[in-house]
Structure 1
Amino acid sequence: MPVVSDRSARVRPRSARRARRCGPMSSRTVESDIHQVSHSLPEWQSRLPSWQPALDARGMNIPELHSPDLAAAHFDFDSIVIGGGAAGLAASMVLARARRRVLLIDAGAQNNLRTTHAGGVFLHDGEAPASLYARALEQLAVYPTFKRRQALVTSAGAVDGGFRLVSEPEGLPPEVLTAKTIVLAQGVQFSPSKIPGADALWGTSVVNCPFCDGYESRDLHVLVAGTSDYLTHMAAMLPAWIDDLSYAEGTEIAGMKRGTEGLEVRFTDGRSETFGRAFVQQEWTQRTALADALGCARLDDGLLQLDGFGQTTVAGVFAAGDQSANAMQVNLAVGSGHAAGTGAVFALVIEPD
C-alpha cells in the first residue's frame, strides 16, 4: 500500500488548523498540504471517537500515526501483557504486529499445561496446549518490538500517563517496569478439589469442560461429580456428547486414582467402580489481585467488567481470557486476547493532543 505522504500529518478540526512553514512556501497551510495529497478531509474526521483509528480522506490509516516513536520515551513499553496463555499470546501478537513495544510477562502457570490435547481449537484440534503456546512464542519472536520475561507480577499501580508494576523473576531481584497500557491475561486459579486424588489426575482422567473433552469421552463410562446444582446442569448438557453417564455428589466420593483398567473411584459407602473418565466440578479464584489494585470494577459473578475491546473500567487497562469469560475455552481466550490487543493499539495510536 503506497504511503500517502512523507510529512507528519495529524487530523485536527478545521478551526484548530494553523499555518506552518513547508519548505520555501511559507504561506502554505496544513489544509492545503493535505488537499494536495488526497483532497481536504471531511468534517466528520474531526469527531472521531477516541477508540477509532485516524484515517485520511481515502479511508486509509495515516501511516505517521502508527510510528513506534509515537509512544512517550519515558515509558519502558507501550504495553505490558501479563499472562502467557492463549489470551496473552493473542494480545501480544496484535500489539507486536502494530509495532508497539510490548513485553509479555509469564509465570508459566496455565491451568491447561498438563492437558494432553485441546479439543475443538480452530485449526489445531487435539493439539496439546503446551505445543500451541510454544508455537505462538516462536511466531512472536519474529517481531522486533516483542519481548518476553519469565516472572511473576506482584503489584501494579497508575502513574502519570500510564502504569508501573513490579516484576519478580525467579532467583533475581524485583524489577520496576512502566507501560502506557496493560493487558491482564493471567487467568484464574483452580481451587484444590475436595475429592482426594482428583487434582493429580486433572487434565487427563479428570476434566470439567464438555466442549473440550466431551467428544473424546463419547464411548466411555463417565462419572459426573459435584454439587447438586452442578449435577443438574451437567445432566442437561453431557448427554449431547456421552451416552453412558453416572452421577454422584462430591461428598459421596472417598477418593480417585488411576488404575490398570481406568479411573478407579472409591465411594464413601465402601463401593468401588472403574470409569473411563470423570467430569468433576471445579471452583476457581482470581489468580492475582492486580485488577483490584488498579481499581477495575467487577460484575456480580466476579468477572471483570469490560467494553467491546476488552478495556476495563480503568482507561488503559485491558483484560482477556478466563478472568473475564464465563466459558473457559482456548478459542474464546484467543478471541478475547485479540480484542484486548486491538483495544490497546487503539489507545496507543489515537492520543489526545
Structure 2
Amino acid sequence: MPQSSASLPRRRPSTQPATDYDVVIIGAGSAGLSAALTLGRCLRRVLVCDGGTPRNAPSPGVQSFFTRDGIQPAELLRIGLEQLRPYTTVEVRPARVTELTPGPGYFELQAEGESGRTFGITARKVLLATGVEDELPPVPGMRDLWGRGVLHCPYCHGWEVRGQALAVYGRGKIVTGMALLVSRWATDVVVCTDGPGHLSDNARRRLRQQKIRLNEEPISHLEGKPNGELRYIVFENGEKLARHAVFVHPHQHQRAGFAEQLGCQLTSKGAIRVNKHAQTTVPGLYAAGDITPGPQKALLAAAEGTQAAIAIHETLTREECPK
C-alpha cells in the first residue's frame, strides 16, 4: 500500500529554518488553487489564504476554460477546493493576510480570520495570487452592469455577444485597438469616447475602413435591463444609443500591496515582474495570475499557478538537498 503523506520522512538541513509551512499561497482563485494542487501532489505543507470574492464573480460564466467552458465562477472554485481534499498537506483557510515580512530564509505573515482573530505564521516561500481590481470609468451604471452589459475581454465574452449591436468605451490608441478587435465579432460597432477621443488621423481612418462609427459626445449614464444587460448608452445631450453590450479596457491596480511594499519590480502598468520561474525580484517571493504581465484569463492564471508551484518545489528541493 502507498504510504500516507503524514508517514513519509521529512528531512530538514540544520541550516534551514523551521517554519509552519513550506509555502503560503495568498489568494484562492484559479492561480492559487492550481498552485496548491500541484504542491499538494508534491507532499508540500501548504496554507492557502482565501481572502474573499474573486474578480470574475459578477460574470455569468468562465469562458474558454478547457473542459469547463461557461462554468459559473463560484462553481469552478468549488470544484477546485473539493479536489484539494485528498491532499492532506494542503490547508485552506478563509483569511486575509495583513502583513508579509521577509526574514533570513523565510517569511513571517500576519493574517485575520473570519472571526476577526489574528494569527501569525511562517513559511519558506510565498506565492502571491491576489489578483487585481478594475478601476471602472466614473459613468453611472458602469459598475452595476459590470460582467454582463459592461465587458472587458472579447476573448472571454465575444462569442456570447456575437452579431449584436456593440459599443467600445475609451480614448486614444487603447480604444482603437479594442474596437478593431471587437469588430471581428460584430459588424455594428460604435466607439464612444465620452468627450474628445484624442484619436489620430490614422486611427480615425482605420475605424472608418472597418465601418466602425465614432461618437465623441459626453456620456450621461448607462441604462440597463433587469438581467444586467445593457439597453442604452445615454448621452448628456439626451440622445440614446441602443447597444447590447459595451467593452471597456479599465485601468487596474494590485488587489494587495505586498509586492510594492517589499520592493518588487513592477511594470509601467503596475504588474509584478517575474522571471520564467514565476520568481519576483524579492528572493523566495513568487507571483502568478492576473497580477503578472500578459493576457488575463482564468485558464492562463491556472497555468501560471502550476508553473509557479513547480518552480517553488524544485527550489525547495535544491535547498533540502545541498551539493
Fold similarity call, TM over 0.5? yes
Secondary structure of 1:137's match?
Answer: helix
Q: How many residues align?
A: 291
TM-score by length of 2: 0.84
Which residue of structure 1 aligns with residue 223 of structure 2?
Answer: 257
Q: 1:301 pairs with 261, 265, 269, which one?
A: 269
For the 8 Å contact 1:157–1:293, the answer to whether it is kept is no
Which residue of structure 2 aligns with residue 276 of structure 1?
Answer: 244
* Aligned-residue offset at 1:191: 1.6
Supply the distance in 2 between the matched residues of 1:68 and 1:147 (Cα, whole angstroms): 20
Alignment of 1:184-195 (within 5 A): 184-195=128-139
Residue type of the partner of 1:291?
A
Which residue of structure 1 aligns with residue 188 of structure 2?
Answer: 244
Alignment of 1:20-99 (within 5 A): 69-70=10-11, 74-99=18-43
1:335 aligns with 2:276: no
Supply the distance in 1 between the matched residues of 2:251 and 2:21 (Cα, whole angstroms): 35
* Aligned-residue offset at 1:100: 0.2
Residue type of the partner of 2:87?
Y
Cα separation, partners in 2 of 1:69 and 1:208, compared to 1, 3 Å: same
Residue type of the partner of 2:275?
D
For the 8 Å contact 1:230–1:281, the answer to whether it is kept is yes
* Aligned-residue offset at 1:236: 2.1
* Aligned-residue offset at 1:68: 6.3
Residue type of the partner of 1:258?
G
For the 8 Å contact 2:17–2:106, the answer to whether it is kept is no
The structure with more helix, counted as a fraction of residues? 1
1:163 aligns with 2:104: no
1:111 aligns with 2:60: no
Supply the distance in 1 between the matched residues of 2:11 and 2:166 (Cα, whole angstroms): 56
For the 8 Å contact 2:27–2:51, the answer to whether it is kept is yes
Supply the distance in 2 between the matched residues of 1:165 and 1:309 (Cα, whole angstroms): 23
Secondary structure of 1:152's match?
Answer: strand
For the 8 Å contact 1:215–1:242, the answer to whether it is kept is no
Secondary structure of 1:151's match?
Answer: strand
| CA radius of gyration, larger in | 1
Supply the distance in 2 between the matched residues of 1:68 and 1:315 (Cα, whole angstroms): 27
Residue type of the partner of 1:253?
I
* Aligned-residue offset at 1:301: 3.2
Computed over aligned residues only, the root mean square deviation of the Cα atoms, in angstroms, reads 2.2
* Aligned-residue offset at 1:73: 7.3
Secondary structure of 2:10's match?
Answer: helix
Q: 1:324 pairs with 292, 307, 322, which one?
A: 292
- Runs of 4+ that moved beyond 3 A: 70-73
* Aligned-residue offset at 1:279: 0.7
1:310 aligns with 2:278: yes
What are the superposed Cα offsets for residues 223-258 of structure 1, whole Å, 9 maximum, x if unpaired? 111123222111221122222211101342211132
What are the superposed Cα offsets for residues 292-326 of structure 1, whole Å, 9 maximum, x if unpaired? 22332223332212111201112211100011032
Identity of aligned residues (%): 33
Which residue of structure 1 aligns with residue 68 of structure 2?
Answer: 124
* Aligned-residue offset at 1:272: 1.4
For the 8 Å contact 1:79–1:100, the answer to whether it is kept is yes
Gaps of 5+ in 1: 3-66
Which residue of structure 1 aligns with residue 315 of structure 2?
Answer: 347
* Aligned-residue offset at 1:101: 0.5
Secondary structure of 1:141's match?
Answer: coil
